[in-house]
Structure 1
Amino acid sequence: MASAYSSTLPQLGTMAKKLDRDIWRVSAGTLEIKFFEPGALVPPLEMFDAVRAGAIDAAFSSPAFWGNKVPALQLFAAVPFGPSAKEFLAWIYFGGGKELFDEIYHANGIHSVFCGLIAPEASGWFRKRIRTVEDLKGLKMRFFGLGAKVMQKMGVVTTQLTSGDIFVAFESGAIDAAEFSMPAIDIKLGLHQMVKNYYFPGWHQPSTLFELMINLKKWEALSVSAKAQIEAVCGDNIRFGLAEGEAGQFKALKELQSKGVAIRRWPGEILEALNKAWVVVAKEEAKSDRDFKRVWKSLSAFRKDYTIWRELSLP
Structure 2
Amino acid sequence: MTGRGTIGTAALLGAALAAMLAFTAPAAAGEPRVRLQVASTFPSGMAVIGEGARRLAEKIERASGGELVLEIHEPGALVPAADTVKAVSAGIVDAAWAGAGWFATEDSAFNMFSSVPFGPSMGEYMAWMYRGGGLEIARAMFHARGVHNLPCALIPPEASGWFRKEIQYAEDFRGLRMRFFGLGAKVMEKFGVQTQQLPPAEILKAMQDGALDATEFSLPLMDEPFGFDTVAKYYYFPGWHQQATFFDLYIAKNRWDALSDRDRAVIELACGDTIRETIAEGEAAQGRVLRAMQDRGVQLRRWPPEILVALDEAWNEVVEEESDANPNFRRVYRSFAEFRARYSVWHGLGYLH
Matched, 1:82 2:119: yes
Query: Which residue number corresponds to residue 70 of structure 1?
Result: 107
Tell whether the 8 Å contact from 2:173 to 2:192 is kept in structure 1 after alignment: yes
Whole-angstrom distance in 1 between the partners of 2:105 and 2:163: 26
Which entry has the higher C-alpha Rg, 1 or 2?
2
Whole-angstrom distance in 1 between the partners of 2:232 and 2:238: 18
Matched, 1:180 2:213: no
For these two proteins, the number of residue pairs brought into alignment is: 315
Tell whether the 8 Å contact from 2:103 to 2:110 is kept in structure 1 after alignment: yes
1:53 Cα offset (Å): 2.5
Deviations 1:54-113 (A, max 9, x none): 221000000011111121110000000001100000011111111101100001111010
Matched, 1:51 2:88: yes
Deviations 1:261-287 (A, max 9, x none): 000000111100000000000111111
Matched, 1:121 2:158: yes
Deviations 1:196-220 (A, max 9, x none): 0000000000000000000000000
Whole-angstrom distance in 2 between the partners of 1:225 and 1:154: 50
Match of 1:155 among 192, 211, 227: 192
Query: Which residue number corresponds to residue 147 of structure 2?
Result: 110
Matched, 1:39 2:76: yes
1:164 Cα offset (Å): 1.3
State the identity as a percent: 47
Query: Which residue number corresponds to residue 52 of structure 2?
Result: 15
Match of 2:205 among 157, 168, 171: 168
Whole-angstrom distance in 2 between the partners of 1:135 and 1:72: 29
Structure 1 stretch 141-150 or stretch 160-169: which is displaced more? 160-169
Secondary structure, counterpart of 2:71 in structure 1? coil
Secondary structure, counterpart of 2:68 in structure 1? coil
Query: Which residue number corresponds to residue 24 of structure 1?
Result: 61
Secondary structure, counterpart of 1:121 in structure 2? coil
The higher-RCO structure (CA 8 Å, 6+ apart) is 1
Whole-angstrom distance in 1 between the partners of 2:84 and 2:199: 13
RMSD: 0.8
Query: Which residue number corresponds to residue 316 of structure 2?
Result: 279
Query: Which residue number corresponds to residue 222 of structure 1?
Result: 259
| TM-score, length-scaled by structure 1 | 0.99
Letter in 2 for 1:225: R
Secondary structure, counterpart of 2:97 in structure 1? strand
1:159 Cα offset (Å): 1.0
Displaced runs of 4 or more, over 6 A: none
Whole-angstrom distance in 1 between the partners of 2:62 and 2:259: 17
Which segments of 5 or more consecutive residues in structure 1 lack a partner in the other structure? none
| TM-score, length-scaled by structure 2 | 0.88
Which segments of 5 or more consecutive residues in structure 2 lack a partner in the other structure? 1-37
Query: Which residue number corresponds to residue 346 of structure 2?
Result: 309
